[in-house]
Structure 1
Amino acid sequence: MDLTALPERYRLIFCDLWGCVHDGRAILPGVRETLTAWRQQGRRVLFVTNAPRSADAIRAQLLRLDLDPALDDGIVTAGEAGLAAVRGRPVGFCGTESDRADLTARGLVIAEDGYDELACAGLDVGETVADYDGRLATWRSADVLMHCLNPDRIVHHMGEVMVCAGALADAYEALGGRVIWYGKPYPAIYEHALALGGSPAKHAVLAIGDGLQTDMAGAASFGIDAVFVAGGIHAGEEARFAEGWAPVAIVASLGTSAQASA
Structure 2
Amino acid sequence: MTPIISALSEVSDRYDAVFCDLWGCLHDGVRALPEAVEALQGFKARGGTVVLLTNAPRPRVYVERQIERLGVPRDCWDTIATSGDSARTGMFQGDVGQKVWFVGEETDRVFFDPLKLVHDPVAVERVDLSEAEGIVCCGPRDPLSPPDVMREELEDAKARGLKLLCANPDVIVDRGDSREWCAGAVAAYYEELGGTALYYGKPHAPVYDLARQRMAEAGREPEGARVLAIGDGIATDIAGAEGQGIDSLFITGGLAAAETKTSDQPDADALGRYLAEAPHTPTYALGKLR
- Does the TM-score normalized on the shorter chain lie above 0.5? yes
Cα deviations by residue, 1:63-85 (Å, 9 ceiling, x for unpaired): 10121122111111111111111
2 CA distance for matches of 1:241 and 1:58?
Answer: 33
Offset of residue 202 of structure 1: 5.6
User: CA separation of 1:194/1:35 partners in 2, compared to 1, >3 Å: closer, same or farther?
Assistant: same
**So what's the TM-score if we normalise by structure 2?**
0.82
Kept after mapping to 2: 8 A contact 1:220/1:242: no
User: Hey, what does 2:118 align to over in structure 1?
Assistant: none
User: Hey, what does 2:256 align to over in structure 1?
Assistant: 234
Kept after mapping to 2: 8 A contact 1:104/1:110: no
User: Hey, what does 1:104 align to over in structure 2?
Assistant: 112
User: Hey, what does 1:66 align to over in structure 2?
Assistant: 71
User: Hey, what does 1:130 align to over in structure 2?
Assistant: 148
Cα deviations by residue, 1:190-236 (Å, 9 ceiling, x for unpaired): 12212322343566000000001100001011100000000101112
User: Hey, what does 2:160 align to over in structure 1?
Assistant: 142
Offset of residue 112 of structure 1: 2.3
Q: Percent identity?
A: 34
| Residue type of the alignment partner of 1:239 | L
Offset of residue 106 of structure 1: 3.5
SS at match of 1:197: helix
Offset of residue 240 of structure 1: 4.8
Q: How does 1:1-262 map to 2 (within 5 A)?
A: 1=5, 2-87=7-92, 89-100=98-109, 102-106=110-114, 109-113=125-129, 114-125=131-142, 126-198=144-216, 199-201=221-223, 204-237=226-259, 238-240=274-276, 246-255=281-290
Kept after mapping to 2: 8 A contact 1:90/1:109: yes
Name stretches of at least 5 consecutive residues in structure 1 with no aligned partner: 256-262
SS at match of 2:275: coil
Instruction: Give the number of aligned pairs.
Output: 253
SS at match of 1:233: coil
| Residue type of the alignment partner of 1:187 | A
| Residue type of the alignment partner of 1:8 | D
Kept after mapping to 2: 8 A contact 1:15/1:209: yes
SS at match of 2:127: coil
Cα deviations by residue, 1:134-156 (Å, 9 ceiling, x for unpaired): 11111111111100110000000
Kept after mapping to 1: 8 A contact 2:80/2:214: no
Offset of residue 34 of structure 1: 0.6
Kept after mapping to 2: 8 A contact 1:226/1:247: yes
2 CA distance for matches of 1:52 and 1:167?
Answer: 13
User: CA separation of 1:29/1:71 partners in 2, compared to 1, >3 Å: closer, same or farther?
Assistant: closer
The 10-residue stretch of structure 1 (166-175 or 5-14) with the greater mean CA deviation from structure 2: 5-14
Kept after mapping to 2: 8 A contact 1:118/1:144: yes
Name stretches of at least 5 consecutive residues in structure 2 with no aligned partner: 116-123, 260-273
2 CA distance for matches of 1:246 and 1:203?
Answer: 22
2 CA distance for matches of 1:251 and 1:171?
Answer: 32
Kept after mapping to 2: 8 A contact 1:93/1:110: yes
Kept after mapping to 2: 8 A contact 1:227/1:251: yes
